[in-house]
Structure 1
């Protein structure tokens, strides 16, 4: 099927839906569009994205042991850490930069090679190479994303909640 045929068929499907269903269509397309724009932006910046499927659990364990090492299991349970790791910042259990200060700190970091993980993708971690050009605004439409250096000395977190974050934490 050619692209024009896809477009024609999509238009026919949309035309067959009642108006109240169009909001669902809109948001579905918007998600696809934002993912496309994100990928295109990374590609335009020369970022090489690798999907790590074999050592993702170890990397996530290192994130936990590096950035939440001083948080007790009891506190983690109280703040629902397993639901969202970034609760260590939103519940003020870990000192960090927030909002614009977090964005500025992240933008100032050297980022040639970084790891990227999403809260809702438990079995995948990404490695971004040639990533020095990435900035906080690149992640504005991403949800519950954690960007951190390969030495686990700093992390930047952009959440799904407008009133929470972003956060930047750097080991002392």
Structure 2
């Protein structure tokens, strides 16, 4: 397939837009580029990514029961847990490592097989296999991502807010 025709068509579309619309085009392309670079980085590291349908696996519920089990429903409501699960860390309801300590703790973990979920993709969880070379910096452009081992003993969370996180929590 000759992709040069796409480039020509895209250029024509961009040329037809007023300058005020170019910012939207830029950010749309940037999102696509970053997702591509993220996936390419994972594949270059030999990571095998499988897509799991959440309703068939209940992994998000297991995340809740593993990492937020001691947080009451009332507290969850007050901190808007349903909006962002990571609020248990940002509101200091669950003791955890933050910032560089969190990154270092994540990097030190054995990570052959992992689950990965995004706050804004409630129906999908990813399984990462052969993930031993993954490090915290691989997720620096992701937003509201939860990475955790398949035994639900630890989780690493990278948020969309630069002043919140990343967070690392390990069950004791």
TM-score for both structures, normalised by structure 1: 0.98
What's the counterpart of residue 150 of structure 2?
150
What's the counterpart of residue 130 of structure 1?
130
Partner deviation per Cα, 1:87-115 (whole Å, 9 max, x = no partner):
00000000000001100000000000000
8 Å CA contact 1:56–1:125 kept in 2: the answer is no
Mapping of residues 2-81 of structure 1, within 5 Å: 2-53=2-53, 58-81=58-81
Flag structure 2 segments of 5+ consecutive residues without an equivalent: none
Matched length: 172
Flag structure 1 segments of 5+ consecutive residues without an equivalent: none
CA separation of 1:133/1:55 partners in 2, compared to 1, >3 Å: closer, same or farther? farther
TM-score for both structures, normalised by structure 2: 0.98
Distance 1:56 1:128 in 2: 17
Regions of 4+ moved over 3 Å: 54-57
After superposition, the CA RMSD in angstroms is: 1.0
